[in-house]
Amino acid sequence: MDWALPAGVHAVCTTRMGGVSKAPFASFNLGDHVRDDPYAVAQNRALLQVQLGGVRPVFLTQVHGVDVAHLNATTTDGTTADACITQDAQVACTIMVADCLPLLFTDEAGQVVAAAHAGWRGLAAGVIEHTVRALCEQAGVDPAQVCVWLGPCIGPDAFEVGDDVRGAFNSGSASEPSHAQRYFKPHPAHAGKWLADLAGLARHRLHVMGVNAIDGNNSSSDWCTVSQSSRLFSYRRDGVTGRFAVCIWRD
What pLDDT, in 10s, does the model give residues 209-243?
Answer: 999 999 999 999 999 999 999 999 999 999 999 99
Please compute the mean of the pLDDT values over residues 55-65 and round it to a whole number. Answer: 98
Please compute the mean of the pLDDT values over residues 23-52 and round it to a whole number. Answer: 98
What is the reported pLDDT for 200?
Answer: 97
Of 195, 35, 10, 39, the closest CA to residue 110 belongs to 10
Residue ranges and CATH numbers for the domains of the chain are 9-156+214-250 (3.60.140.10)
65, 82 in Cβ contact below 8 A? yes
Question: In terms of pLDDT, which residue wins out, 187 or 172?
Answer: 187
pLDDT band for 179, please (50, 70, 90 cuts).
confident
Tell me the pTM.
0.95
pLDDT band for 174, please (50, 70, 90 cuts).
very low
Distance CA 117, CA 245 (A): 10
Q: Using alpha carbons only, give the angle 188, 189, 192 rounded to the nearest 5 degrees.
A: 85
Please compute the mean of the pLDDT values over residues 44-69 and round it to a whole number. Answer: 98
* Cβ-count burial 211-225 (b if 16+ within 10 Å, e if not): bebbebbebeeebbb
Q: What is the DSSP letter of 238?
A: H
What is the reported pLDDT for 171?
Answer: 62
Tell me: pLDDT of 154 over 50.
yes
What is the reported pLDDT for 178?
Answer: 59
For the chain, the maximum distance between any two Cα atoms, rounded to a whole number of angstroms, is: 51
Distance CA 15, CA 29 (A): 9
Please compute the mean of the pLDDT values over residues 123-140 and round it to a whole number. Answer: 97
Tell me: pLDDT of 205 over 90.
yes
Distance CA 54, CA 46 (A): 9
Distance CA 57, CA 47 (A): 11
Q: What is the mean pLDDT of the chain?
A: 95
